[in-house]
Amino acid sequence: MNEAVFSQIAMLVLLTGLIVWMGFIVWDLAKKSQAGKFGTMALFTVLGAGVVGFIIKTVLVEIMQI
C-alpha cells in the first residue's frame, strides 16, 4: 500500500467519523437545549448544510476531474 492509497482510505474513514461525531454533537445540543422536534430539525438542517456542501463539492470535483 503506497502513501496515496493510505491517505485516501484514511481521509474517507476519518472524515466519515468526523461527520458522525458532528451529528452526535448537534443531537446532544438539541437534547440539552430542549429544542423539541422542530428545533432539532432546524439545528440539523442549518448545521448540516455545511456537511452537505462539502459532500457536493467533493462529488463535483471528482466528476469534473479538477
What is the tens place of the pLDDT at every residue in 6-57? 998 998 899 899 989 999 999 999 999 999 999 999 999 998 898 889 889 9
The confidence score (pLDDT) of residue 47 equals 86
pLDDT of residue 25: 93
Q: What is the dihedral of CA 13, 16, 17, 19, to 10 degrees?
A: 160
Say how far apart CA 63 and CA 30 lie, in whole Å: 36
**pLDDT over 90 at 65, yes or no:** no
Query: What are the residue ranges of helices labelled H in 1-66?
Result: 3-32, 36-64
Query: Residue 51 is part of which domain span?
Result: 3-64
Number of domains the chain contains: 1
Residue 35: Cβ-neighbour burial (10 angstroms; 0-12, 13-18, 19+): middle
- Per-residue exposure over 13-30, b if at least 16 CB sit within 10 Å of its own CB, e if not: eeeeeeeeeeeeebeeeb
